[in-house]
Structure 1
Amino acid sequence: MPGDKEEQEGSAELREKPRREEEEDEEAVDAMRVCYQGFDPAAYLQFNYTPPRADFQRADSIVPWKLACLHRAFSEGDMQGEVLVDVGSGPTLYQVMSGCEVFGRVVLTDFLEVNRRELQRWLQDGSSSLDWTPYLEYVCQLEGRRPSASSEKAARLRSVVSDVLPIDVHRPCPLAPGTIPANGADCLVSCFCLESVSPDLAVLTRALGHISSLLRPGGHLLLIGALGESYYLGAAGLRIPVVPLDEAQVCSSLKSSGYQLLQLSIYTLPAEMRVGVDDVTGVFFAKARKP
């Protein structure tokens, strides 16, 4: 009957539309992957992890703020277990300096081989494009230890990092099977990753759901990200697009991905921290739990 034919054609069109959208999303993600082929770990570290953004004498410097948020979260006593996975480590180590005291196994991950090599160099012989000693000293002070205990913390971190693995947050299974326990990690940390590798908010939220598959029920997610940022420099002259987030979008993405938001803190960049390597206006720190 004519009516049945029209209905079938309409249903086929509805099925085709999501497929087209998925193909467009995949093309946009592929474009992001191509963009990152020019990423320079040394330049990125110099842009973001040296003064004024990493000035440990200034109370309003962004890096001390992030380290303090992480320290508080890991010292509150509600995160327990054995395995901590850092999703999208980049070439940085600061995000696991507090967590390495709580968890017996730390897994670092990144999509880019150049970033994994940067991490492995420090783990193997201490060589790095950035001296992490001031970071280790500052975290020791937050923990009530002398700055001289930084060498002990460095040794602890090296002893508990079991792997530096490839990851792709745009895949339903971001890590290779068998790399973490079958029931998932006890805690995930992810800093400046999802908004920096996603073409839009919908893809970011989907990626948040993908990494949720790495976390056991009852486990915690610590998420740090940029607010109001549309680009950052991944190398000299390389502008990498970023999803410009606001506080409401962060909360909505966590909720739609099944997380219970426990804490949300906001840092607003003072003028001196806006150094021309991005257009970020603030940073969020979220602590969430997977029911």
Structure 2
Amino acid sequence: MASSTLKHYYDEEFDPKLLDETHFSHGNIPIIEENVVYPVRILHELFCSGKVKGDTLLDVSIGGSVYQLMSASNCFKEIYVMNFTDCNINHFKKWLETEEDATDWSFVFKKVCEFEGNSDKWQEKEEQVKKAIKRVIKWENFENSAVKPQLLPTVDCVLSLWQLDGVSKTKEEYQSNMKKFTCSLRPGGQLILFSAVNMSHYMVGKHKFFILPLERDFIRESVTNAGFDIEKEDYLSRKVITDIVDYDGLLCILARKQSECPI
């Protein structure tokens, strides 16, 4: 299907709560082991290993998702959350402010606490994550500029799940956006990037949304071209076939920034 016939991340049909319920937030989702359990396990292992350190973390992830921050809150005193649309920011804030119609993330909190050996303390974990979040930021005009310095301090880690290939319409735009959204990362800081490999779409309700198809080698090349050395790589081949999403596999890259932003 041509990209012109698909919806895009900025379209009003994008419903972040429905995205959560379709792909991420509960155990009845057919690909929950791949979309959620796999990344939270990898993140748990990374943060527990001591390989990722620092005080400040910037999260740039799809929709109003929360699950990527659960283990991060064990290591980072300050978490900044950035998104590109008002609807996603507003939905994230509903969870942050414990509003009635927020996404219920209890299933994933319990899974993370199970990895940590405290499966009965998931509510404490949820409060820990909320306390660590210092600011929710909208990246205005991201296609033409880097994040404004006054909106965000220099950070020690940037974490991103399933986002850049959803907001970038071409490979050139993807590489440019990667350089821009990591500009707030200090030299020596680390990037944790989760990307789907050779994915073209995902479903939110009855709507099919565009994802820029990217090969594994291209993702790795984009990371190194943005001024990073890759330290660790993990890949999970797709095992479950479902009509809500298509991809060949899921890729996680841990990389260290070696230079100032090469924009």
For this structure pair, what is the TM-score category when the shorter chain's length is used for normalisation?
0.7 to 0.9
Counterpart position of 1:100: 73
1:52 matches 2:43? no
Q: Which runs of 5+ in 1 are unaligned?
A: 1-27
Runs of 4+ in 1 over 4 A off after TM superposition: none
Counterpart position of 2:103: 130
**Pairing partner for 1:285 from 239, 252, 256:** 252
Task: Please give the alpha-carbon distance, in whole angstroms, between the structure 1 residues aligned to 2:198 and 2:187.
Answer: 31
Paired AA for residue 232 in structure 2? Q
Question: How has the CA–CA distance of structure 1 residues 69 and 148 changed in structure 2, closer, same or farther, with 3 Å as cutoff?
Answer: same
Q: Aligned ranges for residues 174-213 of structure 1 at < 5 Å?
A: 174=147, 176-181=148-153, 184-213=154-183
**Pairing partner for 1:40 from 1, 8, 15:** 15
Q: Aligned ranges for residues 28-177 of structure 1 at < 5 Å?
A: 32=8, 35-49=10-24, 50=26, 51-53=28-30, 55=32, 61-125=34-98, 127-144=100-117, 146-168=118-140, 169-174=142-147, 176-177=148-149
1:70-106, Cα deviation, whole Å (9 max, x unpaired): 1111122132222111013521100111011101011
Q: Which runs of 5+ in 2 are unaligned?
A: 259-263
CA radius of gyration, larger in: 1
In the superposition, the TM-score normalised over structure 2's length comes to 0.88
- The DSSP-based 3-state class of the residue aligned with 2:243 is coil
Q: 1:63, CA displacement in angstroms?
A: 1.4
Task: Please give the alpha-carbon distance, in whole angstroms, between the structure 1 residues aligned to 2:144 and 2:174.
Answer: 12
Percentage of identical aligned residues? 23
Question: How has the CA–CA distance of structure 1 residues 109 and 82 changed in structure 2, closer, same or farther, with 3 Å as cutoff?
Answer: same
1:102-160, Cα deviation, whole Å (9 max, x unpaired): 0101111111111111111111125454321121111112123x211111111111111
Paired AA for residue 88 in structure 2? N
Counterpart position of 2:228: 259
Task: Please give the alpha-carbon distance, in whole angstroms, between the structure 1 residues aligned to 2:143 and 2:49.
Answer: 31
Paired AA for residue 200 in structure 1? T
1:2-54, Cα deviation, whole Å (9 max, x unpaired): xxxxxxxxxxxxxxxxxxxxxxxxxx9xx956x53321112211221233346
Task: Please give the alpha-carbon distance, in whole angstroms, between the structure 2 residues aligned to 1:89 and 1:165.
Answer: 14
Task: Please give the alpha-carbon distance, in whole angstroms, between the structure 1 residues aligned to 2:246 and 2:31.
Answer: 17
Question: How has the CA–CA distance of structure 1 residues 54 and 105 changed in structure 2, closer, same or farther, with 3 Å as cutoff?
Answer: farther
Question: How has the CA–CA distance of structure 1 residues 127 and 286 changed in structure 2, closer, same or farther, with 3 Å as cutoff?
Answer: farther
Question: How has the CA–CA distance of structure 1 residues 53 and 285 changed in structure 2, closer, same or farther, with 3 Å as cutoff?
Answer: farther
Over the aligned positions, Cα root-mean-square deviation in angstroms equals 2.0
1:49-73, Cα deviation, whole Å (9 max, x unpaired): 2333465xxxx54411111111111
- The DSSP-based 3-state class of the residue aligned with 2:254 is strand
The answer (yes or no) to whether the contact 1:192–1:226 under 8 Å persists in 2 is yes
Counterpart position of 2:199: 229
Q: 1:212, CA displacement in angstroms?
A: 1.9
The answer (yes or no) to whether the contact 1:137–1:147 under 8 Å persists in 2 is yes
The answer (yes or no) to whether the contact 1:88–1:167 under 8 Å persists in 2 is no
Q: How many residues align?
A: 250
- The DSSP-based 3-state class of the residue aligned with 1:147 is coil
Question: How has the CA–CA distance of structure 1 residues 200 and 254 changed in structure 2, closer, same or farther, with 3 Å as cutoff?
Answer: same
Deviates more, 1:187-196 or 1:235-244: 235-244
In the superposition, the TM-score normalised over structure 1's length comes to 0.80
More helix by share: 1
Paired AA for residue 14 in structure 2? F
Task: Please give the alpha-carbon distance, in whole angstroms, between the structure 2 residues aligned to 1:238 and 1:139.
Answer: 30
